[in-house]
Chains A and B, each alone.
Chain A
């Protein structure tokens, strides 16, 4: 049985051999295979097997999921795999963590912060937002992807409800930049501004625009967004 299906780049992953040494246990290897073959159903199956075998949930995350999804993220960075692979792999990780997180003792939940990701109100462009969401998931953040054309009020309410520390707001049109400013203003008016970092991105955005509207920072691409999310989630 192949370890991983052919990627959208048309090649089989070059790191397949590496999978064998990542995990010490067949269950963890199966979980890695599920992520590397972008299969959420297989990820759920392997996670359930791990739980049944009483593998500590944190070990499942640290030794099973994280190395595999980091490899996927690196391959995407080098464009050796493409967006659908990245999104499906992130989905497999999410399917697995949704089963594991409730089992972690509260003090042991060293999963990274919750990040809200959305394309702003009035804008339906989703690819950049999807890349950022998947890369954040790949780096261990708890990502809540609210989709596109997200109402500012809904975004802020969800941030509050989920106790998110970071908002990543994408805008791809010059006419929707203003919605990024709305997010900052809305947070300020509800007394939440200091609790949440607002990171912006998208084609027509810039560091100067982030400064002008009072956002915390601007990411030129998904990689930058991940680094900024690391930085700002720790600061809050």
Chain B
């Protein structure tokens, strides 16, 4: 079994190569080579494919890709290579269930299968998006904790401490990370969800030192939370990230590697990005010692995951992983549209549907490409979770027909999306409910969804 010391040995003794050569002369052409060799081709008129053999081809191509390109350490400028046996061994030994959270909020996180009737694990929140103040952080996380379907929280990132913008690896980042931990617990406590796991620990801690500092027990982080470590695109790691891995392993916290190969970037088009995304899953359990995986593929131009190419590659990747492994894969989706727009709700509906029927769980979501501070609210993750529960168990072919009806509602707007409104324009933290405007949008959306055959929970307001 490959462990952290093995990773270091490989990082220190692997084949030397420049980063540019790794990306452009090894990784990128190998992605294309695998797609060609396996004849992988998506039918973008039908984004959610129900051809099992396509998913299996994507998986086989991904294993071959990982064997050929390994991972890349940017500190040593060496390739961390893996043999086929190491990959198979890691797949066999990967956990098939993780107990997350505490007390009555304790839940088993388990892998799902294609067309699984089990609802997805709902990791809900901001997907690490930036918030402008402690007030907005608390309002958001409290709102997330009240969502009935929530299994775990993904918090926003704090951007300021003492009125100053946080700087990387500075005392400001350490203080921000500590505050992130304390405020997240405070907000979940306020909602009566003391035991709910925070699974993007810690959004504010970009550097290893900030994560380590904020894990002092007095700040409230637990081994039953999730420790999310972001992989650099493509297949890259550095000592900062391996330090985080080592720290999380030392406290027994389950690591989730998050990775977002850009469609149109080094991985290429939709087919090769699906192969890359699948290979990243396996690279994550090895290099980042991950117990769970968090893919978040994004469109290079739209910085979202709702276009038809993105739906196709999310679905193919989900099926490739869930048909061929027992890895726990949680797809994070981004929308282009913002809060209080129908577009945002239709986008997240399409992405969540593609992931859930293909055997993944969900992290929802990054709103309006997660660009602006406070351009998000508790509504969008709630709707995403309701959709996730509603579509669990439906056939891929039915899901395909559904997304084909959703795409025309927003596809043409992706280049110039309506960014909607900001948190306190659409959310009343005292009443803990959306604005009247937003309620109208939500009700219209739910009526439309019912017309498309998806009955969502009635609005309680």
Contact = CB atoms under 8 A, between A and B. Distances in A.
Contacts of B301: 79, 221
Interface string A1-33: 000001011100000000000000000000000
B369 interface: yes
Contacts of B74: 124
A232 B461 CA distance: 52
A186 interface: no
B36 A10 contact: yes
Interface in B344-378: 369-373
B300 interface: yes
B157 interface: yes
Interface in B171-185: 173, 176
A154 B386 CA distance: 51
A56 interface: no
A127 interface: yes
Given A178-B165, A178-B167, A10 B265 contact: no
B303 A203 contact: yes
A10 B269 contact: yes
Given A87-B24, A175-B168, 17 more contacts: A9-B269, A10-B269, A79-B264, A82-B264, A84-B23, A173-B168, A174-B130, A174-B157, A174-B165, A175-B165, A175-B176, A176-B167, A203-B303, A203-B371, A204-B373, A206-B371, A206-B372
Given A83-B264, A174-B130, A178-B167, A10 B32 contact: yes
Interface of A: 6, 8-10, 79, 82-84, 87-88, 121-125, 127, 173-179, 203-204, 206, 221
Interface in B250-268: 262, 264-266, 268
B238 interface: yes
Rank and list the top 8 A-B pairs by shortest CB-CB distance, nearest first. A122-B168, A84-B28, A8-B268, A174-B130, A175-B166, A174-B159, A178-B165, A83-B265
A84 B157 contact: no
A84 B168 contact: no
A206 B130 CA distance: 13
B159 A83 contact: no
B275 interface: no
Interface of B: 23-24, 28-29, 31-32, 35-36, 74, 130, 157, 159, 165-169, 173, 176, 204, 206, 232-233, 238, 262, 264-266, 268-269, 271-272, 300-301, 303, 369-373
Contacts of B269: 8-10, 82
A94 B373 CA distance: 38
A10 B271 contact: yes
Contact of A124 (B24, B29, B232): B232
Contacts of A203: 303, 369-371
Contacts of A221: 301
B130 A204 contact: yes
A10 B206 CA distance: 36
B268 A122 contact: no
Contact of B32 (A8, A79, A122, A174): A8
- From A121, A125, A204, name the one whose CB has the most chain B CB atoms within 10 angstroms: A204
A175 B168 CA distance: 6
A221 B302 CA distance: 10
B134 to A, nearest CB: 15
B201 to A, nearest CB: 16
A217 B18 CA distance: 33
A10 B38 CA distance: 13
Contacts of A123: 168
Nearest to A221: B301
A79 B238 CA distance: 30
A6 B29 CA distance: 10
Given A8-B28, A127-B233, A173 B206 contact: yes
A177 B271 contact: no
A192 B363 CA distance: 46
6 contacts: A8-B31, A8-B272, A10-B268, A178-B167, A203-B370, A204-B372
Nearest to A202: B371
Given A8-B269, A84-B24, A174 B373 contact: yes
Contacts of B167: 122, 175-176, 178-179
Given A10-B32, A10-B35, A203-B303, A88 B24 contact: yes
A206 B374 CA distance: 14
